[in-house]
Every structure is written in C-alpha cells, then in structure tokens.
Amino acid sequence: MKTGGALPRNPELTSMEQIAYMTEPHQEIPFGKEEGLDVSNYTHSELNRLQMEQIQMGLKDKVDISVYADPSYSYETMKQIRLSIYSSIDLTPYLDRGFVDDELEQIRLALEDNLPINAWLTDDMYMQQIYEIRMGLLGGLKVSLYADSKYNWMQMREIRLGLENKRNVSLYANYLFSHWQMKEIRLGLEAGLDVASYAKLIFSGSDMKEKRERLLQEKTRPYMTPDKLGIDLAAYTKKEFTISVEEDGNKVYALIQWVAGNVVTEDDIYDALKKKGIVTGIKREAITDMITKKRMNEKILIAEGVPAKDGKNGWYEFFVRLDLPRIPAPLPDGGVDYVNIEAFEMVEEGQKIALYHPAQKGVDGHNVFGEILQASEGAEKKPLKGKGFAIDEDGVTYRSKLSGKFEYHNGLVIISNMIIVREDVTAVTGKLEVDGSVYVIGSVYSGGYISATGDIIIEHNVEAGRLVAGGSVMIKKGSCSKNDCFIEAKGDVSGSFFEAANIDAEGDIRANYIMNSNINAMGKVIVSGSKGMLLGGKVRAVKGVDTYNLGNRSSIKTYLEIGQNALYHRKQAMFAQQREQILEELRMLEGQWNHILQALPPDKEQAEALIKKLNAAIVAKDKELADLDAEVSKLASLTEQDMKAVIVRGNAYEGSLIEINTVKYVLPSHVSRVVFKLRNKNVVMVKL
C-alpha cells in the first residue's frame, strides 16, 4: 500500500451510477450484445459499469481482455492495461509490485517513449514522483541525482528544474532541505548569485528568499549603451546578420542578410559568438568560407557541440525459472486443476541462480557554451534482496546457499529449506517440524503432523492429521476425513476438495467442492466449476464466498457467516494493538528528536548524521502507521453495507443460512444465479 503524498483518486462510480448499478445489475449485458460482442464471460455482478466499459472497448479492438478482466482491478487500472496492450507493453511486473491507476499510466507513458523508467522505480514511489522521473528522462537529464523515494515529488521537481537550466543542483539536492528551500537556492543559481551564503539548513525558506532578493539588488548596476547616448551606429555601418542557437545549445547557425552595403567580417561573427557566450565547437573554416565567398541569405552551421553518449543500465541474468504459473489451469467444467500444477522451482546448494551484468559508463559531451552535457552512466541495479543465497567474490554471481525451494516475488529472492518426504506421513513417522517448506510426495494419514515456517504441499491426499504452515497449504487431490483433519495457514489453502475438514487461513480457501467442513478464512472461500459445491458445515469468510452451488436438494443445513464476524473482530483488535504500539514508538522518537535538537554536538557532520538517522526512523514509523491504517480501512471497506457477500453462480437450495455482519437470512426455497448482499440492514438477493 503506497502512502506519502499521492493525490486522492477519483471514485470508480458516481453516487448516481452506484444507485443505478445496485438496482439494475443486468444493464451491462445488452450494452455489449448490441454491437455483436460476446460478453457472456464478463457479465457477473462483481464488475461495475466502468469496468464493463473497459472490457467492451477491449473486445471491440480484439485484444486479449483476460489480461485485465479481473473484478479486483479498478476501471482505471483496467484502462492502463488495455492501453499498454496496444503498444505491446507488459505492465504485469508493475502490477505485481503494487502499482495501480495513475502510477501505471506514468509507467506506461515512459515505456512507450522507450525510457529506462524501471531502473529508477522503487515500490514505495507514487504517481507524482514517477512523473518527475519520467519528465527528467524525457529531457535527457541525469535523474540519478533525484530518483530516490527519500525525496517527495516537490523536491524532485526543484532538482529537475535545476538540471533543465543546467545548474549545479548538488548545492541543494539534500532531502533535508524542504522544497521551499530548494526553490530559493535554485532561483539564486539561475540569477547567477553566490548561494553559498544562504544555502544552509539553518535558514528557513522565507529567510533564504530575503537573502536571495538582497543579493539580487546588490548585483544590479546601471550601465550605458550607445543607443542611450544617442549614437546611431547604423548610420555608419551596415552589419545585418543573425546568430541563432538551436537544439538546446548544441548547434549555432549564422545568416547574413542580403542588404546593399552590408559588410560583415569574421571579427563581427566572432564578437557576436563571444557576446552570446559561445566558446566551443566553433567551425572556423565554415565562418571563413561564409565571409570570403559572401554566402548571403543562407543559414550556415558555424558551431556545434558534442552530444553525450549514454551508458547501458545494469541487468540480471537468471538461471532459474521466474515464470511459474501462479494460477492453476482451468478444467473443462470451469473447475481448477490442482493436481497438475507445478507449484515450485527447486535449486541445489551452490547452484548459480543469477549473474549481474554491471552498468556501462557513458561519455560526457558539451554544448557550444562549454557546459558539460552529462551522460547517463548507466544505472546500477540494487543488489538482489532476500534470503537463502550468497554472492561470489566477484560481486556479481549469485548462488544458492542450500538445496530448497526458489521463489522470486516483488523483487525478492527467497530460497527456503524444502524438505521432500518420499513416503506417506503417519503417526509412525512422528512430528515433522521444519524451518522452511515441506513437499510430501505421498499422502498424510491419521496421526500425521507437519509444522513448517514456509509452505506445505501434499501431492496426494490428507485423510487426517494436522498441518500448520507459516505460508500456504496446497493439497493437490484433497482432504477427506471424519472431522479429524486440521489445517492452519498464514497464507492460502487450496485443494481439489475438502470433506469434514477444519481449516483456518489468513488468506483465501479454494477448492472444487467443500462438504461438511468447518472453514475460517480472513479472505474469500472460492468453490470453482459447474460441479462445484459448498455443502453442509460452517463457513466463516470475512471477504465473502464465491461458489457454483450452495447446499443441495436434501436441504442439508449449510451455514455461511460473512463480513464482520468473529474473525473480523479478532483482526481489528490485533490492528488496534499494533497501532497503539507504533504510536508509542513514535512518541518516543519525537521526544528524542526534541532532545537532540536542544543538545547537538559541536561537530557539524556528527550533528547532521544524528538528525538524519533519527529523521529516517521517524519517517519509517510514519509509513508503518500509514500502511497499517490503510489495512484497517481496507478491512472495513470489505464489510460495507453494499458488499457482495455471497455469489452463487449455479443453484442455491433451501436450508442454507447466510449471516452478513450479524444479519441472518434463511433461504426459503431454491434459487439460481444470485448474489446475497447486505442492504439497509437486511440481507437481499440480486440476480446475476
């Protein structure tokens, strides 16, 4: 979740559109059919009017809309993905890193202009910062001087403007300066002032402005010119010519007008060049040729700069697969093939996993004013982050420190211990406790116990026992027990089926059918396929349920508890405790800040180091608090009045009991293709 100054987003729907959508959820369907478009796979009620519009545009343009036809994407994110397809640009890596909406727009525009934006992006940057980096790259500026998230976008802008005006921005490219202070230093540099007297942290922005204006007044002096003395030089000579500087100071042209009696000498040209400050790249032979051959009314190149040659950015070459599918393949009935999914990539101890190719230096150029045109030195990539690997002495070769599971996600390399069990896990096997992940090639039977800090993957079945995972749990074939199977996961839990299982997950729970189970999920419970069934037992899911069939013709009681349930309140209480702890830490840091400012050491470097260190700690805590508040807000929004709590894509049978935010509803008769939601403190049904 990004924080720190992004402009507020426009809401996806206006209030009138929201009302229209709630009362007429089927309106988008004929909207596509009128133009002969097949929208049958995209007309479920999770998509709002603007999302459907983006899907329709993609269908009309015959692009692969499956890339973005995801209800979890806002319509603006859908739009940017759609536009990127037209330019053959892949925004998927940036979506995985958490960039959305107008952030994706800036990234897309940069990639369309072939700008190396990825070399400077960090995951905590927001739209305005990305815009400033894009503008700098577009102008050929040395963005390495400000492309850092420690600068806010206004500070970035001041540094960029200084670079555009070819000023020495190092005098104020210090993130401890506010953007007001930076502006006053920049304006002073542009006016040719000696800013050293006021470019100091101890002066506020208003102090700096006062000092700059005083220096500017002192610099201004009256002077006399021939025209002020009343002397008309044109009465004595005719020297009609123009000197034009073009292409940002890289080329200079001269043009001598054909006028009777016009006498222009080489000295006149050189004097004009000197007055304009043109000192390098002068083509003396061209000037001599122009004068001696009296080339009139002809635009002639008489000076030219040397362009900078940019270097090449550093890049990583990986020797392991990074593109394992995260989503299992679909089955013909719409279910999910959990059996044949390739869940992970294995590496051996000492195996080379990546090689870094360092950036190549560029060659500086210069313009006709003698100013250096700094070449991009080629941006170095940051070292790979994560765990489970080491770097060779050459500083560029990455090797696995252990034999285990390789993962690459959001820019992190994680190699964790992966224990492969080539037999069934039973009471005879004993407790299996692993710091890492576990892959069982067989099944888990009665008395089997596995505890892992990472993922647990079972190739076949789980009939009984207990699985406890710090990551996710995948049971490829499924679990069938007599209520003596217990699964706990900090991530997702998935399998072909679950019968009489007890599952607790911090993420989603996915299967092709779930029967007579006790399910607790902070995320969603998703049952896929036209044969998919959620039958019997009790399901608690904060984010809702999405199933094909609910209950059966025998009216077996199926209980769904959605939204603000016991799991929700437990999570809210945990958030409140975390928030109070962060606030207490912030109070302590701010107290230290005041104490340090009152008793700074006499040494300037030590004082600045103290201020910098403490300021970084406060900023980090502020971001931690903002991220937590965003999580709290996101959790609350999931349980709002109009939430689509339960989606039934096939049949829902009587006897099913649905409770949303403590409001109960017993289904009195069989219905099909419906959404159950909370509206005005009542559970209502809306047709899909």
pLDDT digit string (tens) for 507-557? 999 999 899 999 999 889 999 888 889 999 999 998 889 999 999 888 888
Say how far apart CA 185 and CA 125 lie, in whole Å: 25
pLDDT at 326: 53
Please tell me which residue, 190 or 488, carries the higher pLDDT value.
488
CB 663 within 8 A of CB 683: yes
pLDDT at 8 over 50: no
Please tell me which residue, 231 or 15, carries the higher pLDDT value.
231
Concatenate the DSSP letters of all residues of 42-88 into one string: G-STTS-HHHHHHHHHHHHTT--GGGT--TTS-HHHHHHHHHHHHTT
pLDDT at 404: 82
pLDDT, mean of residues 244-272: 87
pLDDT at 177 over 70: yes
Please tell me which residue, 639 or 240, carries the higher pLDDT value.
240
Compute the mean pLDDT over every residue in the chain, rounded to the nearest whole number. 83
Tokens of 510: 């996915």
Q: Are residues 154 and 60 in the same domain?
A: yes
Tokens of 401: 């420190």
Say how far apart CA 25 and CA 46 lie, in whole Å: 10
Q: Are residues 124 and 253 in the same domain?
A: no
Q: Are residues 633 and 585 in the same domain?
A: yes
Q: Are residues 244 and 213 in the same domain?
A: no
Q: Are residues 276 and 129 in the same domain?
A: no
Which spans in 234-336 are helix H?
266-275, 284-292
Q: Are residues 42 and 190 in the same domain?
A: yes
Please tell me which residue, 286 or 608, carries the higher pLDDT value.
286
pLDDT at 339: 58
pLDDT at 234 over 70: no
Domain boundary among 217, 242, 269: 217
pLDDT at 476: 87
pLDDT at 419: 84
pLDDT at 578 over 90: no
Residue 596's pLDDT band (cuts 50, 70, 90):
confident
pLDDT at 273 over 80: yes
pLDDT at 296 over 50: yes
pLDDT at 23 over 60: no
Say how far apart CA 33 and CA 198 lie, in whole Å: 68
pLDDT at 27: 40
pLDDT at 335: 61
- Provide, rounded to the nearest whole percent, the portion of the chain with pLDDT above 90: 34
pLDDT, mean of residues 240-264: 87
pLDDT, mean of residues 374-384: 85
Rg (CA), the chain: 34
CB 36 within 8 A of CB 62: no
pLDDT at 682: 85
Q: Are residues 28 and 131 in the same domain?
A: yes
| SS (HEC) of 364-401 | CEECCCCCEECCCCCCCCCCCEEECEEECCCCCEEEEC
pLDDT at 10: 37
Q: Does any domain span residue 180?
A: yes
Domain boundary among 269, 287, 304: 304
Q: Does any domain span residue 531?
A: no
Q: Are residues 209 and 255 in the same domain?
A: no
pLDDT at 328: 57
Candidate from 235-239, 412-416, 612-616 with smallest mean pLDDT = 235-239
Q: Does any domain span residue 465?
A: no
Residue 319's pLDDT band (cuts 50, 70, 90):
very high
Please tell me which residue, 50 or 514, carries the higher pLDDT value.
514
Find residue 533's DSSP bridge partners.
513, 549
pLDDT at 609 over 90: no
Nearest to 305, CA basis, from 392, 238, 246: 246
Q: Are residues 56 and 116 in the same domain?
A: yes
Q: Are residues 172 and 284 in the same domain?
A: no
Please tell me which residue, 631 or 255, carries the higher pLDDT value.
255
pLDDT, mean of residues 330-340: 62
Q: Does any domain span residue 140?
A: yes
Q: Does any domain span residue 159?
A: yes
Q: Residue holding tokens 């093939």?
A: 337
Q: Does any domain span residue 203?
A: yes
SS3 content of the chain, % helix, strand, coil (to 5): 30, 25, 40
Residue 672's pLDDT band (cuts 50, 70, 90):
very high
Q: Does any domain span residue 114?
A: yes
Candidate from 217-231, 344-358, 443-457, 488-502 with smallest mean pLDDT = 217-231
**Non-local CB neighbours of 683 within 8 Å, separated by 6+ positions:** 645, 658, 660, 663, 664, 665, 676, 677
CB 98 within 8 A of CB 127: no
Residues 130-153: tens digit of each pLDDT: 999 999 999 899 999 999 999 999
> 156 lies in which domain range?
15-217
Q: If 0-12 CB within 10 Å is exposed, 13-18 middle and 19+ buried, where does residue 489 land?
A: buried
Q: Please tell me the total count of domains within the chain.
A: 3
Q: Which of 173-183 are b and which e, b meaning 16 or more Cβ less than 10 Å from the residue's Cβ?
A: bbbebbbebbb
Domain boundary among 217, 241, 269: 217
pLDDT at 225 over 70: no
Q: If 0-12 CB within 10 Å is exposed, 13-18 middle and 19+ buried, where does residue 219 land?
A: exposed
pLDDT, mean of residues 301-330: 82
Q: Are residues 54 and 122 in the same domain?
A: yes
Find residue 521's DSSP bridge partners.
505, 541
Q: Left if phi > 0, otherwise alpha if psi is -120 to 50, otherwise beta: which for 61?
A: alpha
pLDDT at 25 over 60: no
Candidate from 163-177, 227-241, 533-547 with smallest mean pLDDT = 227-241
pLDDT at 130: 94
Task: Identify the top-confidence range among 180-194, 563-577, 613-627.
Answer: 180-194
Q: Are residues 189 and 238 in the same domain?
A: no
Q: Does any domain span residue 293?
A: yes
pLDDT, mean of residues 670-677: 91
pLDDT at 502: 94
